[in-house]
A and B are shown apart, each in its own frame.
Chain A
Amino acid sequence: MTGKMSPAMKRYQQRLWPTLIVYAAILIGVIRLFDANPPTGPIKYAAAIVPAFPILGVIALYARYVYEETDEFRRLQVILTILCGLALVLGATTVWGFLEVLAGAPHIPLYFVAPLFCVGQGLSVPFVAWKYR
């Protein structure tokens, strides 16, 4: 995953950054809304779910990249890093889930799952590149 970026990866990056900017803007807006004038009833649920949409969009961007990448070797490498991210999320949340239920460990909000996935995927990039160097 070194060297020149593939056209599909360029498109992914071009789509990713605006999505993240939208996510940041929505998140700040929703947090301010809940701080200043907390909504109630169905509006509360609707407003709370809005920041999740850009994250769902990022997941869709992953799928779109995998579908659009014509270089099968690059595609394999990216899929391996995605699997590493998923493995970290599944492993960490399973372990922590048992710790919470059985050992009274503090609760961790589920919205940390997506950043944890990104950490796992990011950390695996050099290892995957090294495997095929």
Chain B
Amino acid sequence: MKNRLKVLRAERDWSQADLAERLAVSRQSVNAIETGKYDPSLPLAFRIARLFETTIEAVFEDPA
């Protein structure tokens, strides 16, 4: 699933490792989500949106 995670992360000058630490996941998880190879669960998607103080729709692109 396409997403704006890399952009949102860059805006805050966070590395993948920084974001991973904030989300309590592995850096590999962040990389897999960023590159669209892994779609996070709804709870993790909410955590990501909450961290960036935005909505899930603003982070993840609806593929429909």
Interface residues of A (CB under 8 A from B): 1-4, 6, 70-74, 76, 131-132
Number of interface residues of B (CB under 8 A): 13
Shortest beta-carbon distance from A25 to chain B in Å: 35
Task: Supply 24 A–B pairs (Cβ within 8 Å), ascending by A.
Answer: A1-B28, A3-B26, A3-B27, A3-B28, A4-B26, A4-B27, A6-B26, A71-B24, A71-B26, A72-B25, A72-B29, A72-B41, A72-B44, A73-B25, A73-B28, A73-B29, A73-B32, A73-B33, A73-B38, A73-B40, A131-B37, A132-B32, A132-B37, A132-B38
Measured CB to CB, the closest approach of chain B to A7, in angstroms, equals 10
List residues of B whose CB falls within 8 A of some A CB.
Answer: 24-29, 32-33, 37-38, 40-41, 44
Contact partners of A6 in chain B: CB under 8 A: 26
Question: Within the assembled complex, what's the spacing in Å between the Cα atoms of A72 and B28?
Answer: 11
Could you tell me the distance in whole angstroms from the C-beta of A133 to the nearest C-beta in chain B?
8
A72-B40, A73-B38, A76-B38 in contact; A2/B24 too (CB < 8 A)?
A: no
B28 touches A132 (CB 8 A): yes
Known: A73-B26, A132-B32. 14 other contacts (CB 8 A): A3-B27, A4-B26, A4-B27, A70-B24, A71-B24, A71-B26, A72-B40, A72-B41, A72-B44, A73-B32, A74-B28, A76-B38, A131-B37, A132-B37
